[in-house]
Structure 1
């Protein structure tokens, strides 16, 4: 029997507060983020506020598995927050992505715009190369007496966490002109 894939997913939501409802929208963002954090598999959220008044907000939710996202989306609590969102903001745009594209999302780019795969692969390689070099140098002396498998386990776990939460968001911003050379980022 074939098992259905259940990959990690990232949900990108774009919303614009209704005029005069900006504070209510901010309250909604705080509430839904705190509520989502309580659900199984939720790995955090990033909120990108607009650079000008009246602009769009970009909200990025991450889940460890698609099934956990679906549980959250089908929950009564999520439905209650969605009703509040409809009162305080314009209709939303949603994109659910998995794979490398999740690391290459800029708050200023259109939701369905992703760089070419060769650029994503090159930037991931750069991030991995730098992290492996740095972490091997720093941790090597500390873990050299550990079995080789444990050394590799520790190093790769740290590389993945650093890539996901720090290095890839930084590299994506630093190389945005190269990743998205012909895209209007405003």
Structure 2
């Protein structure tokens, strides 16, 4: 059964805090779980946000095209078998969230840290989208002049911008600016701007 008004994709955001010394074992576990998820209908990709600054927290982002397809993966026997291996590696239960659309880029690295202010999300998104939407058409216009003003040229530009943002710019920028987006010391005590 399909749900009406679904977002263009949904993301399962999973946060795992590892026990000391379990990182190599957990990395091997990731190598098993990622190909398994990719076998399911509607799978759009996996991003792994690995710990920085000596932390032991991993954030795994698994994207699906619809809620139905994501639930099929969540409730699958394959996933349950893999999840059964986790308790020996974690120092607490896994934290799971469902995020519609592209909101997952601004998921804090740990459940204790709050999501960034809306104005920070706006600035980061603008900083990534603006140069991409200007440079990509220039690039394809130079390489494929026949594409200018055509429907397939617009598709090529849009597909390139989305690929750059999703697979390159957002993961890099949000990781580099993680402490500015969600400061560790202040814990974002002020309420988020809507």
Q: TM-score, with normalisation over the residues of structure 1?
A: 0.79
The separation in 2 between residues aligned to 1:96 and 1:144, in whole angstroms, is 42
Asked if 1:4 is matched to 2:8, the reply is no
Q: Residue 192 of structure 2 corresponds to which residue in structure 1?
A: none
Structure 1 portions without partners, runs of 5+: none
Q: Distance in 1 between matches of 2:107 and 2:125?
A: 14
Measured on the aligned residues, the alpha-carbon RMSD in Å equals 2.9
Q: What SS class does the counterpart of residue 14 from structure 1 fall into?
A: strand
Number of equivalenced pairs: 182
Per the TM alignment, residue 155 of structure 1 is displaced from its structure 2 partner at its CA by 0.6
How many angstroms apart in 2 are the aligned matches of 1:111 and 1:35? 29
Q: Superposition pairs for residues 80-159 of structure 1, below 5 Å?
A: 80-89=81-90, 90-105=92-107, 107=109, 109-110=110-111, 113-146=114-147, 147-159=149-161
**Partner Cα separation in structure 1 for residue 23 and residue 122 of structure 2:** 39
2:172 maps to what in 1?
Answer: 170
- State the TM-score, normalized to the length of structure 2: 0.76
Give the stretch that moved more between structures: 71-80 or 46-55: 46-55
The answer to whether structure 1 residue 183 and structure 2 residue 187 are counterparts is yes
Which runs of 5 or more structure 2 residues have no equivalent in the other structure? 189-194
In structure 1, C-alpha distance between the alignment counterparts of 2:177 and 2:4, rounded to whole Å = 35
Equivalence map 1:55-74=2 (5 Å)? 55-74=56-75
1:104–1:115 Cα contact (<8 Å) kept: yes
By percentage of residues, which structure has more helix? 1
Aligned-pair CA distance for 1:166: 0.9
Q: Deviations over 1:19-55 (max 9, x none)?
A: 6765543332221122112212222223334347782
Indicate the larger mover: 175-184 or 56-65: 175-184
CA offsets per residue over residues 125-171 of structure 1, 9 Å max, x none?
A: 22222012211221113333235322211111111111111112223
- Give the conservation status (yes or no) of the 8 Å contact 1:104–1:168: no
